[in-house]
Amino acid sequence: MTIRHFLTLLDFSPAELISVLDRADQLKQFQQEELAHESLKNKVLGMIFEKSSTRTRVSFEAGMSQLGGSAIFLSPRDTQLGRGEPIEDSARVLSRMLDVIMIRTFEHATIQRFAEYSKVPVINALTDDFHPCQLLADMQTYREHNGSIQGKTVTWVGDGNNMCHSYINAARQFDFELNIAAPKGYEPDADLVKQNKQRVNLIADPKAAVKGSDLVVTDVWASMGQESESDQRLSAFDGYQITPELMDHANSDALFMHCLPAHRGEEVSSSMMDDARAVVWDEAENRLHAQKALLEALLLN
Ligand code: CP
Ligand code: NVA
């Protein structure tokens, strides 16, 4: 049997992604009804975090225990990974002990190299280039509120970062139109945009980009690892804040999402976080359900 990894949304077919979302809805239902569901009994997830996390860590760890398994938190501070043990050796050793491994790291190539040497499924829990797990939750949340996203228009406002790249992949896999409003010099990867040019539009002006949208999304202006650029970015992104007034240019039933953590007063106004169109708390909760479905898909199918 070949091992399946989940390094980007392109590792699953559109139909497989939809079935993960269907299962996520079902697992959410079980959770709400307090029905025990131990499909991953005795399975162990290893979680390698080279960057901070609240949602990702807690959702994976809680998810594994709810499914009857367990999770081990591994940080470079107290493992040999932080002392230079090669990624290939770590992958070979850890994958002989664990059933599935989740990694949050910097370079995307690191996780690709790890996956190459791993005997068990590897999940991308965020790299500098992609954040596919967040997109599972976002897509589940959109569907839950407003039905299928197929044929809809999504607008990304802000940095052309890892989340934006995963939105480009999502546009392809879930079949929607994607407008991207990013300031000059902060656009997403040009090759990725080019590969998806039939559905991805770069529109620098946020108002023009948001017009006719069904979903508006943003993320921090300085991602983890870019802290030293914070001041420079703060001025470069001036005018790119999501506010209720900007949202008024979108469709009347448009939703607002943010993967969180949010910086109120920077990429999003405080009033927008409290606006009825913001579904950020459902979005955060769905990380739990969507990743439980992902873990099942990787371990049981
Ligand atoms: N959205 C997200 O991945 O959050 P954490 O950084 O808290 O895991
Ligand atoms: N773009 C952000 C997402 C955090 C969940 C970062 O990489 O820091």
- Domains of the chain are 9-130+284-300 (3.40.50.1370), 135-281 (3.40.50.1370)
pLDDT, average across residues 137-142: 99
Distance 244 CA to ligand 1 centre (A): 24
Q: 180 pairs with which residues across the strands?
A: 156, 202
Q: What strand order describes the sheet that includes 200-202?
A: 200-202, 177-181, 153-157, 215-218, 255-258
Query: Cα(263) to centroid of ligand 1, in Å?
Result: 13
* pLDDT tens per residue across span 212-236: 999 999 999 999 999 999 999 999 9
Of 298, 247, 253, 224, give the one whose Cα is nearest residue 63: 298
Pick the residue whose CA is nearest to atom 6 on ligand 2. 223
Q: How far is the CA of 15 from the centre of ligand 2 (A)?
A: 27
pLDDT at 2 (0 to 100): 86
Relative to the CA of 53, which ligand 2 atom is closest?
Answer: 5
Percent of the residues in the chain that have a pLDDT greater than 90, as a whole number = 98
Which of 47, 48, 51, 55 has the most ligand 1 atoms within 8 A of CB, as the residue to mutate?
A: 55
Q: For the whole prediction, is pTM greater than 0.85? A: yes
Residue matched to tokens 């500098």: 128
> Structure tokens of 261?
């953590």
In angstroms, how far is the first alpha carbon of the chain from the final one?
Answer: 10
Identify which of 189, 230, 259 to mutate to test ligand 2's pocket (most ligand atoms within 8 A of the CB).
259
Band the pLDDT of 136: cuts 50, 70, 90: very high
pLDDT tens profile 147-169: 999 999 999 999 999 999 999 99
Q: What is the mean pLDDT of residues 256-279?
A: 98
CB 209 within 8 A of CB 157: yes
Residue 301: the pLDDT is 77
Token readout for 85 is: 């043990």
